Chains A and B, each alone.
Chain A
Amino acid sequence: MEVRLVHLSKYFGEVRAVNDLNLEIKSGEFVALLGPSGCGKTTTLLMIAGIYIPTEGEIWFGDRIVNDLLPKDRNIGMVFQSYALYPHMTVFENISFPLKLKKVPMAERRKRAQRVADMMQIGHLMDRKPAQLSGGQQQRVALARALVKEPDILLFDEPLSNLDAKLRLTMRGELKRLQKDLGITSIYVTHDQVEAMTMADRVAVLRDGRLQTFSTPDDLYNRPQTLFVAGFIGSPPMNFIDATLVQENGKVVVKAEGMRIELPDELGKRALARAKSDRVVYGIRPEHVHLDPEGDIEAEIYVVEPLGREDLLDCRLLGGSVMGVLAPAGQPVGPGDKVRLRFEAEHSQLFDPETEHTLLW
């Protein structure tokens, strides 16, 4: 089932929780709604579920506007952060509840509930009450309950955030595989960018109720549309420096105090064509900056943060800007050491400081 949000807005009094949101989700696609808390992602999800009534705009399922359709008539399945199992029902009753409401005969209810439960590996727990299950098992029951009525659309509201780290990793993989196997259009709300990036086909980044960007994880990471997205995606976060964009000897060069980077021709041309003034925000990810004695940028180590596999070095450029550098663990440097840095210019990002929009993609 294809889902389209058209000029969708939701106001709570003066607060615009969702502001003119447009989104097209393809049939069978796994889309993540990503953003910090209060960005409107859950509100959007609840509007799609039919729990919230949109202030403006339309929600389309296929070729049908569903704004006035009750949640029960939308044929959706939903998994909540708190699992939201019914404590007074057994696992079987929980899973088969949607079927009971659809007046499916008991025998078939049993069959279908058992099938889904087996798929979720909880087939042996059917007679338990939710309180007797572990968090992971409860999560599986919730998932089974969402799947049992063979919904057109699956909605997830941070379903993994109550699980411990290890279980979360397992469930992440399982969920993704399950979604691909069943091919059900899925919308997944999360504030965890790793979850969004690893699971989703496309990620919609929201901020203050507005859509920042809607693209594949690859685009999101390597070709961020806005300054916010660039800063929000990736850990440790991208480095930003206020710089000027100039032309020198036919080359496009980004300059800041203590820093000079020649852009590759292609990027340079594009940036020059789009820039409205010579002032830009230059961005580069920590993994694209290297300690290199041959490098042409001088810096001084400020802090060393060992991350295990790598060290994150906070380096201070001559101009005073601080630059995170990801280097293999065990660098023989410490605070105060003078180092030289080499930037991978082809991984540069440039943004308009006014519109915060990219100048490159």
Chain B
Amino acid sequence: MTQQTVTAQVTPHMDVSWRARLRRFTTPAFFTGPAFVLVFLFFFLPVILTILISLTDMSVATISDIKFVGLKNYIRIWRSRTTWKILRNTFIYVGFTLTFFNVGLALVLALITTHIPDRWGTAFRTFWLLPRITPSVIYAIMWTWFTADAPYGIVNQFLQIFGVEPRNWMSAQPWLVVIAANGFVGASFGMIIFTSAIRSIPVDFLRAALVDGASTWQRIRYVILPMIRWPILFVVSYQTLSLLASFEYILLLTDGGPGFYTTEVWSLHAYHRALSNYFGNVQFGYGAALAAILVVIGVIASVIYLRVFRFNEMVAEPKIEVI
């Protein structure tokens, strides 16, 4: 009989010593501290501040005597006639850029580059990253020249061949330019995601389709597209949010013009009101209210994404417990 009877003096379960307890707090704090401070200062605090400022009449004129005005800024936004124009602009901007470029062109690029020899495919995909890493200012200069008046503009030079009357396209078709310029940058995001999604389709499915006699087009239509609908949904939602908030390229290309608010979108408007001296009196409160609406949309949308795309399930428990 080797049954083990434990004769050890069973002391009452020892509490974790204070040192170990302290360590469990200090070590993670050391590792996450710097990021936490930065994120707190420049994400959390600003979210709250944006909403707080939006409830005041803070502006350059009132900076020394800020008053709480409740929802007055929001009411002003609601009543302002320009709001509707800007809302319409935002829809045009987000809708068209998203449909034709960030998803449309991205899908076309992903499909083509996965259907040609890999060497070519990678080369083309890499090339499409170039606009994304090109400094926005230079990118804007290139577009300005691209669309410039005759005899300088490249578009005009090309269209001349077809007898199209030359013009400054940035002024003549500002939306076309704004959408295309943003879209050429935005397409690469979807392209990369779609490419890896297409690549991760099990080869068996594609073979099966080939065996069944599907044409390339049928294969794309009935096998590939249905299988990457989640990545497409992801790109649509993710890019909607970032387009809603982005105004850098518009600022550099048209600055909301030409003329009165022709290409002024919501986020650019918030920026103009709150941070640009263009109108003389900088209205922090009003601008913050405009931004706060985007912030709230952003917070809600990103929380929804977190749920819908089940990011949480990717979180595995660490296998080392000791700290």
Task: Enumerate chain A residues within 8 angstroms of B32, measured Cβ to Cβ.
Answer: none
Is the C-beta of A35 less than 8 angstroms from some C-beta in chain B?
Answer: no
Distance of A214 Cα from B4 Cα, bound (Å): 7
**Total B residues in contact with A, Cβ cutoff 8 Å:** 19
B2 and A53 within 8 A (CB): no
Task: Enumerate chain B residues within 8 angstroms of A68, measured Cβ to Cβ.
Answer: 14, 16-17, 19-20
Closest residue on chain A to residue B23 by CB atoms:
A70
A213 and B8 within 8 A (CB): no
Rounded to whole Å, the gap between the CB of A74 and the closest CB of chain B is 10
Tell me which of B2, B3, B14, B319 contacts A58 (CB under 8 A): B14
Task: Enumerate chain A residues within 8 angstroms of B11, measured Cβ to Cβ.
Answer: 58, 65
A53 and B3 within 8 A (CB): no
Tell me which of A7, A12, A219 contacts B10 (CB under 8 A): A7
Most buried by B among A65, A68, A225: A68
B322 and A70 within 8 A (CB): yes
Rounded to whole Å, the gap between the CB of B49 and the closest CB of chain A is 39
Is the C-beta of B6 less than 8 angstroms from some C-beta in chain A?
Answer: yes
Task: Enumerate chain B residues within 8 angstroms of A58, measured Cβ to Cβ.
Answer: 8, 11, 13-14
Rounded to whole Å, the gap between the CB of A63 and the closest CB of chain B is 10
Distance of A108 Cα from B95 Cα, bound (Å): 70
Is the C-beta of B133 less than 8 angstroms from some C-beta in chain A?
Answer: no
Is the C-beta of A11 less than 8 angstroms from some C-beta in chain B?
Answer: no
Tell me which of B2, B6, B17, B322 contacts A215 (CB under 8 A): B2
Task: Enumerate chain A residues within 8 angstroms of B320, measured Cβ to Cβ.
Answer: 51
Tell me which of B1, B8, B17 contacts A4 (CB under 8 A): B8
Distance of A24 Cα from B8 Cα, bound (Å): 9
What is the predominant secondary structure among interface residues of chain B facing chain A?
loop
B19 and A24 within 8 A (CB): no
Closest residue on chain A to residue B18 by CB atoms:
A68
Is the C-beta of A23 less than 8 angstroms from some C-beta in chain B?
Answer: yes
Closest residue on chain B to residue A70 by CB atoms:
B322
Distance of A107 Cα from B122 Cα, bound (Å): 51
Most buried by A among B1, B8, B322: B322
Tell me which of B1, B13, B17 contacts A361 (CB under 8 A): B1
Is the C-beta of A136 less than 8 angstroms from some C-beta in chain B?
Answer: no
Rounded to whole Å, the gap between the CB of A182 and the closest CB of chain B is 26
A225 and B20 within 8 A (CB): no
With A52-B322, A67-B14 as contacts: A216 and B2 at CB distance below 8 Å? yes
Is the C-beta of B204 less than 8 angstroms from some C-beta in chain A?
Answer: no
Rounded to whole Å, the gap between the CB of B3 and the closest CB of chain A is 7
Distance of A58 Cα from B13 Cα, bound (Å): 7
A65 and B14 within 8 A (CB): yes
Distance of A215 Cα from B2 Cα, bound (Å): 6
Distance of A216 Cα from B3 Cα, bound (Å): 11
B322 and A56 within 8 A (CB): no
Rounded to whole Å, the gap between the CB of A301 and the closest CB of chain B is 38
What is the predominant secondary structure among interface residues of chain A facing chain B?
strand
CB within 8 Å of A: which of B196-254?
A: none
Distance of A361 Cα from B317 Cα, bound (Å): 43
A24 and B13 within 8 A (CB): no
Task: Enumerate chain A residues within 8 angstroms of B17, measured Cβ to Cβ.
Answer: 68
Task: Enumerate chain B residues within 8 angstroms of A53, measured Cβ to Cβ.
Answer: 321-322
A56 and B16 within 8 A (CB): no
Distance of A71 Cα from B321 Cα, bound (Å): 11
With A53-B321, A71-B322 as contacts: A219 and B16 at CB distance below 8 Å? no
Rounded to whole Å, the gap between the CB of A233 and the closest CB of chain B is 14
Rounded to whole Å, the gap between the CB of B13 and the closest CB of chain A is 6
A51 and B322 within 8 A (CB): yes
**Binary interface profile of B, 312-323, with partner A (CB < 8 Å = 1, else 0)?**
000001011110
Is the C-beta of A22 less than 8 angstroms from some C-beta in chain B?
Answer: yes
B2 and A56 within 8 A (CB): no
Is the C-beta of A120 less than 8 angstroms from some C-beta in chain B?
Answer: no
B8 and A60 within 8 A (CB): yes
CB within 8 Å of A: which of B290-321?
A: 317, 319-321
B6 and A22 within 8 A (CB): yes
Most buried by A among B14, B16, B20, B321: B321
With A7-B10, A68-B17 as contacts: A23 and B322 at CB distance below 8 Å? no
CB within 8 Å of B: which of A43-85?
A: 50-53, 56-58, 60, 65, 67-68, 70-71
Task: Enumerate chain A residues within 8 angstroms of B317, measured Cβ to Cβ.
Answer: 12
A22 and B4 within 8 A (CB): yes
Rounded to whole Å, the gap between the CB of A265 and the closest CB of chain B is 20
B321 and A219 within 8 A (CB): no
Distance of A159 Cα from B20 Cα, bound (Å): 31
List 9 additional A-B contacts (Cβ < 8 Å) besides A12-B317, A53-B321, A70-B322: A22-B6, A51-B320, A51-B321, A56-B13, A60-B8, A65-B14, A68-B19, A68-B20, A215-B2
Q: What are 6 residue pairs bridging A and B, where the CB atoms are less than 8 Å apart in the complex?
A: A7-B6, A7-B10, A51-B320, A58-B8, A71-B322, A216-B2
The 8 closest A-B pairs by CB, nearest first: A215-B2, A22-B6, A68-B20, A68-B17, A53-B321, A6-B8, A52-B321, A214-B4
